[in-house]
Structure 1
Amino acid sequence: MSENKGLPKSLLYLMAFGAGLIVANNYYNQPLLGLMARSFQVSESEVSNIPLFTQVGYAFGLLFLIPLGDKFNTKKLILIDFILIILSLLIAAIAPSLVVLIIASFLIGFTSVIPQFFVPMAAQLANPNQRGKAIGVVMSGLLIGILGSRFMSGFVGEYFGWRSMYYIAALAVALYWGLIYYKLPAITSEFKGTYKELMTSLWFYFKSDSNLRLASFRGALGFAGFSAFWTTLVFLLEDVFNYGSGIAGTFGVLGICGALAANVMGKLSDRINKNKVILIAIFIMIAAWLVFYFSTASIIGLIIGVILLDMGLQSLHITNQSIILSGKSEAGNRINTIYMVIYFIGGALGTITGAQLWEMFHWKGVAALGILYTLLILIFHLLYKKPITQ
């Protein structure tokens, strides 16, 4: 950003690119679930444990790794973590059984938390009146990575097999490691206590910050619906439309249109009341789920719903993070840890419940579940929101 000497535009976009590249590791599996199920000759519900354990692993990585950014040199932590990511991806690529792939998926999720170092880093380096914009840029990269990963893995899986995707991902991560080794600044920490004291402080921030608790709850429920959708979409496309993993992945590209709203909403959250932005995001998500409910046999409806769902969720997510990262820069990693752990617990819940609703009621059951989650966000937001002027 030209306005901020502490956060050059080149570094901001390098972090945004890295956020997308690394978080993509958590989502390559979703369009490949059908291929994996056939490869190991297991059911759809059994193979859904792969994205479930990836999300659980991510939540554990957030809980136990990200707080370390407030205690140690963040750059060194990131460089070490990259090596662990590469090893996890290679284990997935050679997995001889579903059990090994599930374990590897947990490790991929556990190690692929680097984007959550980048978000508080961007907030810390940015000028206060540019914080939402900086978070929005990094999150746009992250979200494009999430959605673009589905297109990439769907294409690679269909033409080269699902294992090839993990080899490609390992190579890409290794190349990016070289870039950040030279470009990423070393940020010293302020926390001088023990690891136990560091982890104990998480509870202090959670119980003392009502905005953090509400933002975490909103994010978790939003991501629950999002995960339910992406876990079951590939089954709908295969069962109803006879489409393979390539088409399932293409829906990720469509979602990028909605994800780009993250950058816009980041700027908007610096200028207008954040509670208003949150309400707009909630109603967009409700509209998306209503479209999905009536789109069991309509590709056009699914396309519209994907764009709306991503737009709504990412707008909600960006605004949540802008709220919780305003101030307390010395604890930014821990604040973000609390939010993101609860966020991904919501994602795991959505994966489990989405798979179960699919087994029992198919697509309409999944859509009804998404409507329920989003209505709960609205109810709790209206009941517990606090006045926010910035």
Structure 2
Amino acid sequence: MPSTQDISQNRKLLWLMAISCGLTAGANYFCQPLIHSIQHSFHTSTAQAQFTVTLAQISYAVGLLFIVPLGDITQKSKFIPLLMAFSGIGLLLSALSINLYMLWLGTVLAGLFSVAAQVLIPFSTIMVQPNKIGETVGFLISGLLIGILLSTSLAGILSNLLHWKVVYFFSAFLIFWCAYQLKKQLPQTKGTSLNYFDVFKSMKALITEEHRLSIRGLMGGFSFASMSILFATMAVYLSAPPFNLKDAFIGMISLVGIIGALSSQYVGKFADRGYTVQLTFIGSILLISSWLFLYLSQQHFIYYIIGFAVLNTGVAFTHSCNQSIIYKLRPNAKSRINSIYMTFYFGGAAFGSAMGIFAWNHGGWIWACITGLVFAILTTFFAVIDYLLVQKKYYTIS
């Protein structure tokens, strides 16, 4: 059994936790490079196939709001594997789907319960020393983001080599295995004496009293909305002329985002040293500049690759800084704080996916780029607000 004092030296367990975060988070993104294949498989419209992406994000946001808070009142070593098992069931249902509605049901189940990663991350922060929180969170976020990126690549490759449903079978097996290993290795902890309804009352108090949580939540939401526009339009943009790319190649593009994902653990280290404000502004600049490159991709494909990498890096910077700050606000309410923040975050993702689809259907790639840029600017706006409030000592820098 790992130490309940500090697991930062238990690399085997940390790697297992990071892989589990990546698998559960990635479960929500398999459908993104497969829109074209799903559309043809079920003989449906592009808009209906694209709705699978939005549905995945909405169900995840619902799980963040109503399931993640339970992390503060349950035995996490049992709760986390249970959530992962239910997520695996949703993936199996998607793999066995015979129509679009069955796929949607599997997508909703996988989305609801893949929030296991958002219980696992705050759980890790109570098992390490305070000066290791940013580094540990950054490491797990790297695993989460790499999982998201690899999921789209793997989905595209398996779709071309075998069938688009194969990735759902494969990931379900891996999630079941990781759930079993975590059940054996996670340290025992105690929950609080709060009941389910008390948790939501306390969350209302957290939103009211912790203003920095709301501001950082808005920053996270708008930054991920910006990236979700890219994910929601990637398949239809790159499968059409002049690119005419197949699922495998569309999925492999996501690999360039690993650069940004790997940066999370290093951002976390500097965040532990007090550079969250500076790193946040770097992330905002990267977000804005990425959409300029993406707009230019109409002229040459290389600009899409650059823009994709820069956008992912900007989101990683912003997200790592946000989580490094919020976990220090109320040490005894980390799951509830994470639930609030991640509801903003993935609520933004769902909104971004919907807006990306709307922009694409009404104005093509140009409108999609403009919408993405607007969200990037809004992220920067709230970063400025956060900085000004720190300067006025409305709250202090973490």
> In the alignment, does 2:274 pair up with 1:262?
no
> In the alignment, does 2:110 pair up with 1:108?
yes
The answer as to whether partners of 1:30 and 1:231 remain within 8 angstroms in 2 is: yes
Comparing 331-340 and 238-247, the one that deviates more: 238-247
Q: Distance in 2 between matches of 1:42 and 1:296?
A: 28
The answer as to whether partners of 1:286 and 1:375 remain within 8 angstroms in 2 is: yes
Q: Distance in 2 between matches of 1:9 and 1:171?
A: 23
Q: How does 1:1-390 map to 2 (within 5 A)?
A: 5-7=6-8, 8-189=10-191, 191-240=192-241, 241-385=243-387, 386-387=389-390, 388-390=396-398
Moved over 3 A (4+): 4-7
Q: 1:34, CA displacement in angstroms?
A: 0.8
One-letter amino acid matched to 2:303:
G
The superposition leaves residues 171-224 of structure 1 with CA deviations (integer Å, 9 ceiling, x where unpaired) of 1112212211221112211x2122111122111101111110001000000111
The answer as to whether partners of 1:291 and 1:305 remain within 8 angstroms in 2 is: yes
Q: Return closer, same or farther for 1:175/1:6 CA change in 2, 3 Å cut-off.
A: closer
Comparing 255-264 and 143-152, the one that deviates more: 255-264
The superposition leaves residues 300-347 of structure 1 with CA deviations (integer Å, 9 ceiling, x where unpaired) of 101111110010001100100111001422100000000001111100
One-letter amino acid matched to 1:139:
I
Comparing 290-299 and 308-317, the one that deviates more: 290-299
Q: 1:258, CA displacement in angstroms?
A: 1.6
The alignment's C-alpha RMSD in Å is 1.6
Q: Distance in 2 between matches of 1:273 and 1:370?
A: 27
Q: 1:252, CA displacement in angstroms?
A: 1.3
One-letter amino acid matched to 1:29:
C
Unaligned runs of 5+ in 1: none
The superposition leaves residues 274-296 of structure 1 with CA deviations (integer Å, 9 ceiling, x where unpaired) of 11111110001111011111112
Unaligned runs of 5+ in 2: 391-395
Q: Distance in 1 between matches of 2:81 and 2:386?
A: 40
Percentage of pairs with the same residue: 30
Q: Distance in 1 between matches of 2:230 and 2:161?
A: 24
The answer as to whether partners of 1:60 and 1:110 remain within 8 angstroms in 2 is: yes
Q: Distance in 1 between matches of 2:231 and 2:194?
A: 41
Q: Distance in 1 between matches of 2:327 and 2:75?
A: 20
The answer as to whether partners of 1:134 and 1:266 remain within 8 angstroms in 2 is: yes
Q: Distance in 1 between matches of 2:273 and 2:115?
A: 30
Comparing 6-15 and 354-363, the one that deviates more: 6-15
One-letter amino acid matched to 1:88:
G
One-letter amino acid matched to 2:348:
G
Q: Distance in 2 between matches of 1:172 and 1:226?
A: 27
Q: Distance in 1 between matches of 2:92 and 2:131?
A: 42
Tell me the matched-pair count.
Answer: 388
Q: Distance in 1 between matches of 2:291 and 2:259?
A: 17
Q: Please name the residue that 2:393 is paired with.
A: none
Q: Return closer, same or farther for 1:297/1:45 CA change in 2, 3 Å cut-off.
A: farther
The superposition leaves residues 105-154 of structure 1 with CA deviations (integer Å, 9 ceiling, x where unpaired) of 11110010111112111221121111110100000000100001111000
The answer as to whether partners of 1:228 and 1:366 remain within 8 angstroms in 2 is: yes
The superposition leaves residues 252-277 of structure 1 with CA deviations (integer Å, 9 ceiling, x where unpaired) of 11111121111111111112431111
The answer as to whether partners of 1:296 and 1:364 remain within 8 angstroms in 2 is: no
One-letter amino acid matched to 2:168:
Y
